[in-house]
Amino acid sequence: MSPPGAGLGPAARGRRRRPARAMVESNADWMGSLPAALRSYPLSNLAIPGSHDSFSYWVDEKSPVAPDQATAVKRLAKISLVKKIMKKWSVTQNLTFKEQLEGGIRYFDLRVSSKPGEIGQEIYFIHGLFGIKVWDGLMEINTFLGQHPKEVIFLDFNHFYAMDNSHHFYLINRIRSAFGSKLCSIACVEHVTLQYMWEKKHQVLIFYHYPLYREYPFLWPGSKMPAPWANTTNVRKLLQFLETTLEERSRYGTFHVSQAILTPRVKTIAWHLIRGLKNTLVHRNLPMILNWVKTQKPGVMGVNIITSDFVELVDFAATVIALNDLLLEEDESATKS
């Protein structure tokens, strides 16, 4: 496979809108189009594509540095060039929520924060810098779900910054206002199938990594969505880590996220300051990561949710979705024997 973007000029390598839009046509209704035999499989046993730092397609250089950054970075960011560099390393996706959904992404990795010094309790997506308001993102997602009633999504709120309980109550009420009866209350993971979701007209599972989840039946605990993190720049170490954590997943009875992502270290950023994440780590390694995905199999002992940066650069979503065909082959061979 040629490296993503090979033979394209700089403009075509930018937002890559045309390839992304070509990609989206066939994946917007992939769950609703799955063969009948797979509709009774637990969602935890299906292969589901997800995105890492899903909201980071837009971050605001003019905003304050987000609370997830060290004090030293906040001081440096008073220099305008520093924020431009931060943006290159904070953006991990090119596509909006709508475009990701149309492309087949069904799991979203979300980090949120209040904006220090701002009056009110508004909550924003963050990764280094502030992104869009959470409410705007939820409404964009809900519009898609209304148009595609058989699609099911996972929203994983796993990092919270500068938020006290009043901010959490505000955010939880926003989630409830956005999705209403589409929200799936917590149940036994093995019971949650597409058939189950369709019968109840549910489309959204919310995972909330904060103790207040206990007070709301539609908030699933973060422990039901483990997402072990390799924290490496080395693609071979990453793939070994993914294999090891998959071997351990069956004992927990949860969903499972394989984070097929590489994480820059401080020295990585220092050495490649203006190149950014995509040009330093992602372009070069995505083909090898995609080859690993192609060798996987869903199921109790296999992959469930797989996340990537810049999901449109290769046929990531389509490759993950296609793994579900292996479950059908397994059923057929079991029937014959």
Q: Catalytic amino acids?
A: 52, 127
Q: What is the DSSP letter of 2?
A: P
Residue 301: how many other CB atoms lie within 10 Å: 11
Cα separations in angstroms, 312 against 82, 89, 146, 178:
27, 18, 24, 27
Return the H-helix or E-strand segment holding 206. strand 204-208
CA distance 263 to 127: 13
CA distance 197 to 152: 8
What's the length of the chain?
337
Q: Do residues 307 and 259 touch, judged by C-beta distance below 8 A?
A: yes
Q: Do residues 328 and 35 touch, judged by C-beta distance below 8 A?
A: yes
CA distance 152 to 116: 34
